[in-house]
Structure 1
């Protein structure tokens, strides 16, 4: 370990690990509730605000693009910071950058500057990066056979804040009525304060740092700083078929979800939906994303990562059919968005667990940063294209285009499963349970009964 790491974490007795896991999870849950509230409060009206300032649907798709671009751009620097200093500094920095971005969005709305709005939304995306990376912090100290559940519990914690967020968008908008700020920018003002509180919670309470503690408990050969570089993370993903499948899973799930979700408020508005109904539909979508994450985690641990990845592809296909054929039926669009959230949840949980299983402990932080960079970059492109597709064709055609992304994912899942059956269950590719990582891979070197 480096001198910084030795100063940051003291040796942990294996008997104390269960209590440490519970404490770490509790802090991450609290930060996820707050972070989810802040992100969802602002993002519910981002495309509507962009349309108001730009005056065109074609540019409204750049709002989610800017947000996920910011999330992607910060992913690798955040991974580098976590690799060097631990989870806590990276999460705190991301929440503070998100708060700054939310403030810039408010200023942009006040002066009517679309370029400034995009800059603010890009910085706002840093908070989403923090929320995403928190799931990996939960996995740092988890036993291999419980990793998916550890990840899913933190993902689930976002439910409360994320579902409530869109529904307080309207009162947040009314709260700035006397300040000369558009109502659609009010939620971002509230989000800025929420992110600051999230940063304080993580900075004060996430001690000892879970990543540094996991490294302290790792075998001596995995403590080399050279094994933790971003290049080592990329090499670890490239060397493992299962890691590559994990990368494709989270990328496709996230891109399909962001592309369709980002343009749904615009389509609803075209069909006469008001701000309250839009908030309700997005709340249902976010409930699908987060509320059932523990179920996805338990399924991934029990029946296997590949099975849940296949489930994700199926759910996304159903969601895109429902949304794409809804027309002016608000109820069918709401159902489609809910199932879209379920598909995203299954893909994110199973893909994240599979990636963590498939790479060495020393390279995980870097590989996880690469995963978030890839999926958010792809989703950023998807969000930009989504606006153009809706403007030039229709919302229905957007869903058709998103469905096309599922074809390579389904093919790769089938290929990986076939290879596993051919090679035998004991190999890396053949372990279809997804929870067969060696016991020595856990922080304690043993399974918990």
Structure 2
């Protein structure tokens, strides 16, 4: 039950926002996973080189980082609806560009298109913040987790449609590997349309309006209704650094270990089916526990939750599932900490900058993991990742004591 009658419109708007965001996230999950599932193979085909097959990941990460800043600034100035819709529309344009580059066999156009396509990835992650704009402080983490878990359905469906979309592409006279980008472009365009049409009222703008009303009401209660409220200088609170640290470190560790696990398994005689199963379990553990994670964060506090193999396939599966679960805890708690710590006036811009750090951490983890394994081996990478993750604990303890 709402604490006050005035909370009813806010709760109704929050429910509507979550429904719209979930629908858009399912579609964007399809767009994200469909393209990622074949991008390396597509680059290998266009460049006629296996050594360059990793370029799509690097280019997409760069595009994702730039898009996080752009979407954050658009959301800051005009609201979540135009910001998120613009990001998904850019993902759709990038998908169309990939198809055109594949048909033309143009490597430079392919890289440019994949750079733009990365905007969809950034927007998919930034959408979680929109779920928390209107949520009560005691329910913010659950709102974030609801938006996150919606990505899972699309993420599972997208790769499984690679073969049918390849057949469709063949029927249309374009290369089979471009087929999933037909699906990605359509999915991103539909996600942008859903947000542009139905994400009303805009959750961020409504949250600002409600906060402004509360400020005016407080002045009236003090008998100072005739005087205009003095502008408040909005500053980021110390919790921003802790929230960013939690998400950056969990992203760095997760990407580093996830990237090299299939390589390590292959070196120990496991086939692609086994490594594919392990990665699928890992991705499921990244998103599916979100509702439980959100409840735990709301129940026990974001700072409390943030502190909290041999050669067999089963051992790898368990290890990667725990890795994904740790990433989930880090992302949900870090998001809740950031949302609580940043005032509404600068929230969207700050969130975009934080997600740039997350993208950079993922890129660093992916590139650095290969060097570490080549020099010191996979076990040292895993141990180093665990030690690095433990660095979160003293930071969280210090932040808790400063409250």
- Unaligned segments of structure 1, at least 5 residues: 1-11, 312-321, 422-428, 431-449
Which piece of structure 1 moves more, 185-194 or 260-269?
A: 260-269
User: How far 1:155 sits from its partner (Å)?
Assistant: 0.6
Which piece of structure 1 moves more, 178-187 or 346-355?
A: 178-187
2:56 is equivalent to residue 63 of structure 1: yes
Find the partner of 2:146 among 153, 170, 178: 153
Query: What is the correspondence of 1:26-425 to structure 2 with a 5 Å cutoff?
Result: 26-56=19-49, 58-179=51-172, 181-219=174-212, 236=236, 239-240=237-238, 242-262=239-259, 273=271, 280-311=277-308, 322=309, 326=311, 332-386=315-369, 392=374, 397=378, 400-401=380-381, 404-418=384-398, 420-421=400-401
User: How far 1:280 sits from its partner (Å)?
Assistant: 5.0
Q: Counterpart of 1:442?
A: none
User: How far 1:257 sits from its partner (Å)?
Assistant: 2.8
Q: Name the CA distance, whole Å, in 1 between partners of 2:398 and 2:390.
A: 12
**TM-score normalised to the size of structure 1?**
0.76
Query: What is the correspondence of 1:425-444 to structure 2 with a 5 Å cutoff?
Result: 429-430=402-403
Local SS of the residue matching 1:60: coil
Aligned residues: 386
Contact 1:65 1:382 in 2 (8 A): no
Q: Which has the larger radius of gyration?
A: 2
User: How far 1:36 sits from its partner (Å)?
Assistant: 0.8
Contact 1:41 1:165 in 2 (8 A): yes
After superposition, give the CA deviation of every residue in 1:232-262 in whole Å (9 maximum; x if it has no partner). 7xx61xx51x221110111122233334445
**TM-score normalised to the size of structure 2?**
0.84
Local SS of the residue matching 1:44: helix
Contact 2:307 2:396 in 1 (8 A): no
Q: Name the CA distance, whole Å, in 1 between partners of 2:34 and 2:42.
A: 13
Q: Taking structure 1 as reference, are residues 99 and 177 closer, same or farther at Cα in structure 2, changes over 3 Å only?
A: same
Which piece of structure 1 moves more, 149-158 or 337-346?
A: 337-346
Q: Taking structure 1 as reference, are residues 412 and 277 closer, same or farther at Cα in structure 2, changes over 3 Å only?
A: closer
User: How far 1:41 sits from its partner (Å)?
Assistant: 1.5
User: How far 1:33 sits from its partner (Å)?
Assistant: 0.7
Contact 2:249 2:388 in 1 (8 A): no
- Unaligned segments of structure 2, at least 5 residues: 217-228
Contact 1:99 1:191 in 2 (8 A): yes
Contact 1:75 1:372 in 2 (8 A): yes
User: How far 1:403 sits from its partner (Å)?
Assistant: 5.2
Contact 2:257 2:381 in 1 (8 A): no
After superposition, give the CA deviation of every residue in 1:30-75 in whole Å (9 maximum; x if it has no partner). 0011111111111123333334444555433332222222111011
Q: Taking structure 1 as reference, are residues 388 and 42 closer, same or farther at Cα in structure 2, changes over 3 Å only?
A: farther
Local SS of the residue matching 1:348: helix
Q: CA RMSD in A?
A: 3.2
Local SS of the residue matching 1:176: helix
Q: Counterpart of 2:221?
A: none
User: How far 1:297 sits from its partner (Å)?
Assistant: 0.8
Local SS of the residue matching 2:52: helix
After superposition, give the CA deviation of every residue in 1:306-344 in whole Å (9 maximum; x if it has no partner). 232234xxxxxxxxxx4xx54xx5555444443332221
Which piece of structure 1 moves more, 294-303 or 166-175?
A: 166-175
Which piece of structure 1 moves more, 409-418 or 164-173?
A: 409-418
Q: Taking structure 1 as reference, are residues 213 and 367 closer, same or farther at Cα in structure 2, changes over 3 Å only?
A: same
Contact 2:93 2:116 in 1 (8 A): yes
